[in-house]
Each structure stands twice: as C-alpha cells, then as structure tokens.
C-alpha cells in the first residue's frame, strides 16, 4: 500500500511538471497553441514577431525580387513592431491571403495582420481589430485615355473585371449598373492585361490597390474616383487581447502625429494621382 502511494505521488509530480513545461514554451507567433495565452506585448518581449501581409499588392504589400517587402501596409507593420520593441530585421513577414486571415490569427501562425484588412462585424466575431489606420473606398480603374467612364452608372453595357470570389464587381452590378458585363479573372494582373488590351473596360476593387497598380504603370491607367464604399483597414490580432490592441492603437496614433503616416501614404499612393486624405479616427 505504501509503495502504491509513492507511485501515485510520483505520477502527480510528473504530470504537474509536464503541464508547467507545456505552459512555458513558445512565443505565440510560430503556430499552434504554444504561448496562445500570451498577449502581443508579452510576445514582443522575445524580440521577434511574425506579421501577416499581402505580397502581391503594389503600394500596399509587395514582395520584391530581392526577397524584401514594401508598401504602405508594410510600413505600418514595421512602425508598430518598432513601437513594440522589435526591430525590422527581427520581423518575419508571412503571406496571409484574404480567405486565411482569421484562421492565421486564431491558430497563432501570425502575431498580427496588416493586409488591406477591412473591419467588419462578421470578422469581429473571430478576431479583434486595432485602428482603423486607413480609410479606403471601392473604386474603378480605367485606361488613361478613356473618358467614357466617369462613374459606376457608366458601366452599363461595358465589360467590368474583378477577381473570382470578390464581391466588388457584384456590388457594382447590384447597386449601380445591372447591365454591366462582369468578367471574372483569376487575379488582378490578368484584369490589368485585359484592361490594357481593351478586352475589358474597367477593373474594380479598393482604391488603394488600384492606385498601386496605376503607380506601377505610369500613364496607362487612372482611377475614376467613384468612392463606391467605405473600407476601414484595421490591424487584426487575437480576440480578447486588449493590451495588444491598445499598444497597436498607440503606435498608429504616434505614426499619424509624427507625419510618418502621411509620408508613407503619399509615397505609395501619390504617384497614381490618388489624393491622400486625413487618417481615420482610431476606435477606442
């Protein structure tokens, strides 16, 4: 009986040790449940962060030929990380396609996301948002010499392009031009090729994305300035991380007040003729 009790005590000690070891591992940015209860601020104390971005959107988040990353969203992400105590060289940027953003945050694959991530009530059910840090609008991109399209209502009978799975083009058909001929391509680059060749008459998505493409192709395209919707871009992070949300909000406010926000926005969007307005009010 005594020997049995010793075994039981030993088993309890071993189980407790394993549980404590499991609770102490990981920094929360590498995936799975490791460190899942840590706040963003606590994870930043390790000196490294994993940040989700887009890598195929000129002006917002683009991977360069040398393997680096550039764009307004990238600048915002770097500024936030620095305010959290993490230098640029210690950031791991990770591609997060639109359909995978909530999952990446919930699983801990990324510490936060800056990727033209519009704040919506549906998304708020799964993740928290800091910001917004930018107010974008759905717009139209047309050829620079096309003066026939000055608004969405001018798209009736014309070919409108957007990517498969996007709601932008459907919004135009339902609310502005029901007789628009919708063309859905696999990617924006294909829409641009079609727009340049005349295969389509207009491309629609967020004006920030369109401005990036226009800036990348000087003299070929222009934004109509239709302002078909408001898209408040937020920084996505783990739901319930109040401390992390407040820290990001403070970083965004500092970026705005310092003039770095305006400088970055004009650098990446200005060459297209895009008029950068004032930053949106941060939600507390």
CATH number at residue 48: 3.40.190.10
Residues of the domain holding 203: 137-230
In a domain, 35, yes or no: no
In a domain, 173, yes or no: yes
| CA angle, residues 78, 83, 84, in degrees to nearest 5 | 95
In a domain, 282, yes or no: no
In a domain, 277, yes or no: no
In a domain, 218, yes or no: yes
In a domain, 98, yes or no: yes
Q: What secondary structure does DSSP assign to 31-100, as a single string?
A: STTTTTTS-HHHHHTTT-EEEEE-SEETTTEEE-TTS-EESHHHHHHHHHHHHTT--GGGEEEEE--GGG
CA distances (Å), origin 142, targets 43, 145, 209, 214:
45, 8, 13, 10
Same domain, residue pair 76 and 149:
no
* Assigned token pair, 191: 């829409």
- Residue 238 CA to residue 248 CA, distance in Å, equals 12
Please give the pLDDT value at position 28: 41
User: Three-state DSSP class for 226?
Assistant: coil
pLDDT tens, residue order, the chain (284 aa): 443 444 444 444 444 444 444 444 334 444 333 445 789 999 999 999 999 999 988 999 999 999 999 999 999 999 999 999 999 999 999 999 888 999 999 999 999 999 999 999 999 999 999 999 999 999 999 999 999 999 999 999 999 998 875 778 778 888 899 999 989 887 788 899 999 999 999 999 999 999 999 988 889 999 999 989 899 999 999 999 999 999 999 999 999 999 999 999 999 998 888 889 899 999 87
Domain count, the chain: 2
Same domain, residue pair 236 and 226:
no
Same domain, residue pair 184 and 44:
no
Same domain, residue pair 193 and 144:
yes
* Assigned token pair, 121: 């009530």
Residues belonging to the chain: 284
CA distances (Å), origin 195, targets 66, 88, 163, 188:
29, 37, 13, 10
Same domain, residue pair 226 and 146:
yes
In a domain, 5, yes or no: no
Q: What is the reported pTM?
A: 0.79
Same domain, residue pair 128 and 258:
yes
């Amino acid at each position: 009986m005594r020997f049995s009790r010793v075994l039981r005590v030993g088993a309890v000690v071993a189980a407790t040790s394993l549980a404590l070891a499991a609770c102490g591992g990981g920094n929360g940015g590498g995936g799975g449940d490791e460190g899942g209860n840590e706040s963003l601020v606590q994870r930043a104390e390790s000196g490294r962060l994993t940040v989700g971005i887009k890598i195929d959107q000129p002006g917002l988040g683009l991977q360069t030929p040398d393997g680096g990353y550039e764009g307004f969203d990238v600048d915002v992400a770097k500024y936030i990380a620095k305010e959290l105590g993490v230098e640029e060289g210690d950031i791991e940027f990770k591609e997060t396609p639109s359909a995978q953003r909530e999952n990446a945050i919930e699983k801990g694959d990324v510490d936060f996301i800056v990727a033209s991530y519009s704040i919506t009530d549906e998304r708020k059910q799964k993740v928290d948002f800091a910001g917004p840090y930018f107010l974008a609008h759905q717009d139209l991109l047309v050829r620079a010499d096309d003066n026939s399209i000055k608004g969405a209502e001018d798209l009736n009978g014309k070919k409108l392009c957007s990517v498969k799975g996007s709601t932008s083009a459907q919004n135009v058909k339902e609310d502005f031009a029901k007789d628009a001929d919708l063309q859905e391509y696999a990617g924006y680059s294909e829409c641009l090729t079609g727009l340049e060749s005349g295969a389509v008459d207009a491309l629609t998505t967020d004006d920030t994305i369109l401005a990036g493409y226009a800036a990348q192709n000087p003299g070929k395209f222009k934004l109509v300035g239709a302002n078909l919707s408001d898209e408040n871009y937020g920084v996505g992070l783990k739901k319930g991380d109040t401390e992390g949300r407040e820290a990001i909000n403070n970083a965004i406010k500092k970026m705005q007040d310092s003039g770095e926000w305006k400088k970055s926005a004009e650098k990446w969007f200005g060459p297209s003729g895009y008029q950068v307005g004032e930053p949106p009010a941060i939600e507390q």
